[in-house]
Structure 1
Amino acid sequence: MIVVTGASGQLGRMVIEGLLERLPAADIVAAVRNPDQVNDLAKRGVQVRHADYDKPATLEKAFEGADRLLLVSSSEVGKRVPQHRAIIDAARRAGVALIAYTSILHADVSPLPLAAEHKETEEMLQRSGVPFVLLRNGWYTENYIASVPAALQHGVVLGSAGEGRISSAARADYAAAAVEVLTRDGQAGRVYELAGDTAYSLTDFAAEISRQSGKAVVYNDLPEPDFKAALLGAGVPAGLAALLAESDAGAAKGGLFDDSLQLRELIGRPTTPLASLVTAALNQ
């Protein structure tokens, strides 16, 4: 039996859908904070169990009988370490045979401040005694695609990544990788550095929007504090604005680049091109 935490989130749902193509629904558990959000999965035969990252008492019961568990990293930056510790401890008590964790690209050496909690979680897994596999996910292309409407409106992509190369991939690519790992044997101890096939700069990103839309769009590189201020001015919440600005600055230092093609190899197909996601955004 395979348990997927955070199963009501975008990545978790995609993983569940991928598992349903390979396994009986009864062998899949959607572990969620609010079971009502996944009633559709329950109707399809998926086991739905209450699992709140902030309520450790809910976790061990949610993981009962699990052979493998996908720990989708918490979305609450700053709270991830205690939340992940609770999940790892509950998995150990429940006798889970393998934990797959969605970490961040090159977590052990990444210049991104976002990597700190991932690195600490990896260290907790090493100390736990539970066999584990690390899915070090690179940047989601969707993180940048979200800026396409504003870029079209103002004719500019803002950032602070300089000419740093970004090896992003689509969320669906990372979900497919998780499905592969969860359904294969011999995964304990593996570390996957997962990233898109072709890297690009934000200058390239702006040029792709311009090419497809026929509108002039350029990239304006800003100092990190100025980019954060611009995001705040656009109504982005303070925590997210800081994360995006810090991550762009990390990209300028190579933190979002990888050319090992491990993601392509794992999923058995090319990763989703940037151009395809730009096309989809323009067609919405």
Structure 2
Amino acid sequence: MKMLVTGATGHLGSLVVEALLRTNTAADLAVSVRSPEKAEALRSQGVDVRQGDFDQPETLAKAFAGVDRLLLISTDGDNETRIRQHQNAVHAAKQAGVGFIAYTSVVNAEHNPLSLAEVHRKTEQAIRESGIPYTFLRNNWYLENEAGSAQAVIHGAPWVHATNDSQVGWATRRDYAEAAAAVLAGEGHENKVYELSGKLRTQAELAAIAGEVLGQEVHVQNVDDAAYADIMKGAGLPDFVVSMLVDMQAAIRQGALAVESDALETLLGRPAQPLSEGFKAILAK
């Protein structure tokens, strides 16, 4: 059985590969990366490193050749670019005769008000229409998304958000990666949709966990969208990023990430990593 992970040198992909190599031989694993020279460490371990560019579909068809099980990790960029890239990948997988696709989506993809959910809805649709057996790994929010807030607190700033008391199912990137590895290398996951969330918490509850790790009281400041935008601009973020973050805060406020599920721990076969441990790893960098 040949497994392939796309984006294997990225934050999530590298952790997936690390997890797979703990329980599978390198000969069973291939990776598709835009720049193979960045994956030399994997090649040296015996991993089959292939060149694949989501904007050059002909390279994807070659990269996916002979692959039984594919993990398609969602790309970065604007929605239009990501949708096009993902559709290229699905088409190439179909051409190459790939037998299974696991795809990293977002919780409640069909109805999620996050603007980025459009990418996942359309990609899930393309995978279903391809006829290839699939698993949708609908990830909630990565704890690492809050690294900026934690770093700001260290420098004396409050923990700022605009989500009121809405809840989010934060989990560490490592847990999401290990769940993806379990599905890619496992059995019985065909045509399943997994809503993957940690325990639901508010921003205030998350900030309290960060405060425990830091050994200091964290002042939490819940603001409206306009104030949040001003604070982000004051932090030096460009306007397009500020707009994106404000939209995210508004969607989270509407309950976009308040999806409760035990599927993550079921796939892991263990409790989720405590968020305190996740914060320690974030702050150590």
Once the two structures are aligned, what percentage of the paired residues are identical? 38
Distance in 1 (alpha carbons) for counterparts of 2:115 and 2:225: 13
Does residue 166 (structure 1) correspond to residue 168 (structure 2)? The answer is: yes
Q: 1: distance between equivalents of 2:269 and 2:145?
A: 24
Moved more, 141-150 or 115-124: 141-150
Distance 1:109 1:145, change over 3 A: same
- Matched to 1:47, the amino acid is D
Partners of 2:49 and 2:87 in 1: CA distance = 22
Structure-2 separation of matches of 1:42 and 1:258: 38
Q: Which runs of no fewer than 5 residues in structure 1 stay unpaired?
A: none
Give the structure 2 partner of residue 24 of structure 1: 25
- Aligned mate of 2:187, from 165, 171, 185: 185
Q: CA RMSD in A?
A: 1.6
Query: In the alignment, is the contact (CA less than 8 A) between 1:155 and 1:215 conserved in 2?
Result: no
1:142 is paired with a residue whose SS is helix
**Superposed, which structure 2 residues align to 1:260-279 within 5 Å?**
260-279=261-280
Q: Tell me the secondary structure at the aligned position of residue 146 of structure 1.
A: helix
Residue 126 of structure 1 corresponds to 128
Say which is worse superposed, 200-209 or 128-137, in terms of deviation.
200-209
Count of residue pairs brought into register by the alignment: 283
Match of 1:10 in 2: 11
Alpha-carbon spacing, 1:237–1:4, altered in 2? closer, same or farther (3 Å): farther
Q: How far apart in 2 are the matches of 1:210 and 1:17?
A: 30
Q: Render the CA deviation track for 1:35-92: whole Å, top value 9, x for unaligned.
A: 1111100111101111111111110000000001000001113211100000000000
In the alignment, is residue 249 of structure 1 matched against residue 250 of structure 2?
Answer: yes
Whether the aligned pair in 1 keeps the contact of 2:27 and 2:46 (CA below 8 Å) is yes
TM-score (norm 2): 0.94
8 Å Cα contact 2:144/2:282 also seen in 1? no
Q: Secondary structure at the match of 1:106?
A: coil
Describe how 1:201-220 pairs up with structure 2 within 5 A: 201-220=202-221
Stretches of structure 2 that go unaligned for 5 or more consecutive residues are none
Cα gap change, 1:281 to 1:110, in 2 (>3 Å): same
Partner secondary structure for residue 5 of structure 2: strand
Contact residue 156 and residue 206 of structure 1 kept, 8 A: no
Contact preservation (8 Å) 2:60, 2:89: yes
Partner residue of 2:67?
66
Moved more, 219-228 or 81-90: 219-228
